[in-house]
Amino acid sequence: MNVFFPALRDGSSAPALRFGERRLSYRQLGAAAVPLAERLGGRTRVTVWATPTLETSVAVVAALLAGVPAIPVNPKIGASELAHIVADSSPDLVLAEPGAALPEALAALPRLDIRIGAAEQTSAQETDQDLVGSGAAGEPDPSRESDASAPHKVPVLPHEPGEEAPALIVYTSGTTGPPKGVVLPRRALAHTLDALEDAWQWTADDVLVHALPLFHVHGLILGVLGPLRRGGSLHHLGRFTSDGVSRGLSDGGTMFFGVPTMYHRLAVEVGADPALARALGAARLLVSGSAALPLTDHARLTAACGRRVIERYGMSETLMNTSVRADGPPATGSVGVPLPGVYLRLVDETGEVIEGDDGETVGEIQVRGPNLFVEYLNRPDATAEAFDGGWFRTGDMAVRDADGNYRIVGRKATDLIKSGGYKIGAGEIENALLAHPAVTEAAVTGEPDDDLGERIVAWVVLTPDAARPSADELSDHVARQLAPHKRPRTVHFLDSLPRNDMGKILKRQLGR
């Protein structure tokens, strides 16, 4: 029997999920998810209105138990993008928390509300009468409630499908066209989470703290399914605050997952907040992902709390590819080495494989392994175009050093600048700009230039109350740190940089 969540089979009173003060033990989670999984049987696909709640977590767990692909949807999604996703994926049903107001495209679908009941108990005070099943909106389901509330009953897990069965369909951001549905099989999820068990020494004793959204790989697969597959627990903060992180880690948390915008906030505040410094310093593991963490933030956090932040690299189509290992040497500024069972290579513009590991030669990352997606839903053309033989073309540019660590220099489409005969990664210039005391945020792009091919353009946000540097001062600052040909030729000063929900800078919106 293929069991994705072994700890659910035991039905223990060990803590599984906590959102604010609402909690579920593994017994409670099973009692809520198993009856729901039974009700999902026979469905083709289901959409999950992915709010940061217990209900979203139960819905996705139930869909995995039922073997029904789940489509997590960003609650802040725009109407046209949502209409495309619904039309493309043709879900039978939408799963949502009771009372959630759904937009028109989802309101037209059959709806099933996830009813969990009064599960706000600590694991030590857990009572079985709190275990409640699921019912449709406005439709009581007494038979399910009776099953779930049987004293000390361990729910019988349904037979789960094979490893190639689709588990999730995650839609891309759609920066170069309509969003594409990335079909992720159970095999990819299981492999990534088990590879991270090895790389991060992840155990059932770990308590993960985070405040990431649950419609994305980072927050949902790593941040919810990861702890549950290990038999550990998740403490979701609801929304990110430095105080929340401090309290969560001080209240038994051993790991924290965040994106660079979160770590930047922590880096700014940790020096003047001894409680935050102690909490971060006591954590077993601090992980940053979804975008590169600036070297300045690495340095400030390590200096304040004595703990290094490790970075990893993945994407919707591949899940996790590399990571700095928890038991390995420091590799600050890199995304580490390939995870067990995952193979990476760098190729140049002609498609030739780059064999060297000099830390300077830039190539596109291609990936092969059991962590890969199956296809783009309804897009055989895009699926075929995405592969070079059995290797997935990531579109990410990187260098590889002698220790096998990969350092991402940016996206092929937006972050690789060809200027004066040089190939220049935007990331290293951004780090150089951030090392200036007056710069708090920076983005670098290229624009056409008759002489250079492309000229380097910097977009910076200044630190409040700092002395305002001139554009020439910032350009000279970069040239002194790197090389003259890497200096920005134009510098724009902005109040803020456009970002998506995961904190990634939306470079295509700069200059519009």
- Which helix (DSSP H) or strand (DSSP E) does residue 345 occupy? strand 343-347
Strand partners, 185: 166
Q: What is the pLDDT of residue 60?
A: 98
Q: What is the pLDDT of residue 353?
A: 95
Domain 6-161 fold is: Rossmann fold (3.40.50)
The CATH architecture of the domain made up of 416-509 is 2-Layer Sandwich (3.30)
Q: What is the pLDDT of residue 481?
A: 81
- 390-438 residue pLDDT tens: 999 999 999 999 999 999 988 777 777 878 666 777 877 888 898 898 9
pTM for this entry: 0.82
Q: What is the pLDDT of residue 240?
A: 95
d(CA 313, CA 293): 12
d(CA 396, CA 412): 6
Under a CB-based contact definition with an 8 Å cutoff, are residues 36 and 147 in contact? no
Q: What is the pLDDT of residue 130?
A: 32
Strand partners, 491: 458
Q: What is the pLDDT of residue 411?
A: 78
Q: What is the pLDDT of residue 337?
A: 97
| Residue 510: closest CA among 457, 433, 470, 473 | 457
Which letter does DSSP use for residue 223 in this model? Answer: I
132: its two tokens: 């409640």
Q: How many CA atoms lie within 13 A of 339 on its CB side?
A: 30
Strand partners, 376: 182
Cα–chain-centroid distance for residue 151? 38
Three-state SS for 249?
Answer: helix
Q: What is the pLDDT of residue 347?
A: 95
Q: What is the pLDDT of residue 196?
A: 98
Mean pLDDT per 10-residue interval, the chain, length 512 residues: 84 94 95 94 95 97 96 91 94 96 94 77 33 37 34 65 94 74 97 97 98 94 98 96 97 96 93 96 95 90 95 96 95 95 95 90 95 97 94 94 92 74 77 88 84 85 88 90 85 88 78 66
Cα-Cα-Cα-Cα dihedral sign, residues 501, 503, 504, 505: positive
Q: Which residue has the tokens 């079985």?
A: 128
d(CA 206, CA 229): 12
- 469-510 residue pLDDT tens: 999 999 989 888 887 888 899 999 999 898 877 677 888 788
Residue-wise DSSP of 406-446:
EEEEEETTTTEEEETTEEEEHHHHHHHHHTSTTEEEEEEEE
The type of residue at 85 is I
Domains in the chain: boundaries: 6-161, 416-509
Strand partners, 241: none
Q: What is the pLDDT of residue 7?
A: 93
